[in-house]
Structures are given as C-alpha cells and as structure tokens.
Amino acid sequence: MKLTSANINVMVKACRKASRYLIRDFGEIEKLQVSIKGPGDFVTSSDKKVEKIIIEELEKARPSYSILSEEIGEVNKDKEFKWIIDPIDGTSNFLHGIPHFAISIGLEHNKEIISGIIYDPIKDEMFAAEKGNGAYVNNQRIRVSSRSNLKDCIIFTGGPRANDKSKDLIFEEYKKISLKVNTAIRKLGSAALDMAYVASGRCDGFLQRNLNYWDIAAGIILVKEAGGYVTDFNGKDEYIKNKSILAANSKIIKK
C-alpha cells in the first residue's frame, strides 16, 4: 500500500517542485563558502524562494486553507484546515554545505495534524504519513524500532542556541541521558529528519526543547503512524504549547 490521497499528492507535488530549486541552490553553496560576503544572504533568499513555491502550489490546490510558515508567519483563512510549512529544516547544515536538510509540510485539521511530508531532496527520501493509513518512505512502510534497553539505543537531539535561556538545563539533561545510552546521542541538525528517522527505526528516540511548530508538525504524524509515541517532557500531549518534544517507541518512552 502507498499513500495516494489528494492532500498527500498535493504536498508531494509541492515538495518535488520546490526541491529542484533547493538542489540547484545547494550546488552554489560551496562556491559561496569562500566568498567575502559568505552564503548567509543567499540562504535567506533560498529559504524564501522555496517557501514561495510551496505556498503557490498548495494554494493552487487548496486556496481556502490557512497557512503557518517559518518565513511569512500565519495567514488565517479556513478555520478547520491549516498547512504548517518549514521550507528548509536544517538551515545551518544547508548554509555550510552539509547535505542533511529537508522540506517539511504538515496538514492540520481542527488543531490535529492529520498528514505530513518530510522530504530530503539530497537523498531523495520522501517520508509521508496520514492519520489511520500508516507511515512510509518512498512508498515502503516504516515502523519505529523495537529496542527496549536504553543502553542499546541511539537518541537524537539538538540545541541549545547561544542565547537560549534554558542552556544549562539542556546541558544537564544531555548529560543525564548520555549516561544511560552509552553516550550514543547524535545531533544531526534537522529536527524534521530526526523525527522521520525515529519513525523509520533508524534511531530510537528524539528529544528537544524550544522548537517551533513548523519544525515538528509533519514529524508528529510520522512517528504516531509508525507506531511511536509523541509527548512533552512531562509525558503529556502539550508539546506544542510547552515547546518540548519527546518521540520514541513504546518500550523506551517512559524510561
């Protein structure tokens, strides 16, 4: 089985079209690394360009849906349906020529994410999920891992930023977790792909504070449809409100 609903098809089409420009721009990054001006302004321009293409494609198919996107903010139309968009999740990786970033699009219905796409244009991996229909990568069904012993697990995380007020707390949490998982903690630089990798069993858990909704929207449905759990750091489903998210399989989430 693969996902073929109208909304999934719309998201896939938008990702494919935007990715052509993203891949082309990524090819220019290496040249810009050695320039005096640097690639900063160029990446900002790429972010906005990719976002514009995605929104144009989504609005063409669903003109009444509301939008929440990293660059333009919120556009309120339909009260039931809303696209949640991150045009480049992993901007710092992109900026430094590291081929690990993604386009992330989630669709919310009445405050609940019902479908999502995370597309890695460099590896050409399309992670997709839809409520009640499972999670897939390139049309192959995916599931979270089944590891139950924390010391055998790989956990992904990210942050903190330099000016993060929670920096000391985050470092303390990092230290505690590293002692339980034999220091098998990875910071790859893209929250969206981190959650996609939890969904596909490539890692066993992901946790991070102070993320924006667009960073995790598509990842939430991916992990849930792959058999995993998503909570905040208190074990509740208020991860958007509290800006702390934990995603893992059922055997380690409480641990």
Check which CATH number belongs to the domain holding 12 and give it: 3.30.540.10
Residue 56 falls within a domain, yes or no? yes
Q: From 141, 176, 192, give the residue that closes a domain.
A: 141
CA distance 78 to 134: 26
**pLDDT for the residue 37:** 47
The residue segments making up the domain with residue 197 are: 150-248
**pLDDT for the residue 183:** 64
Q: Are 192 and 215 in contact (CB under 8 A)?
A: yes
**Tally of domains in the chain:** 2
CA distance 143 to 61: 30
Q: From 100, 124, 141, give the residue that closes a domain.
A: 141
**Strand duo 244-248 + 229-231: pairing:** antiparallel
Output the CA torsion 178→179→184→187 (10° steps).
10
Residue 231 falls within a domain, yes or no? yes
* Mean pLDDT by groups of 10 residues along the chain of 255 residues: 86 96 84 53 78 95 93 86 95 88 96 96 97 95 94 88 80 85 86 97 94 94 97 84 88 89
**pLDDT for the residue 40:** 55
**Same domain, yes or no: 162 and 73:** no
Q: What is the pTM of this model?
A: 0.92
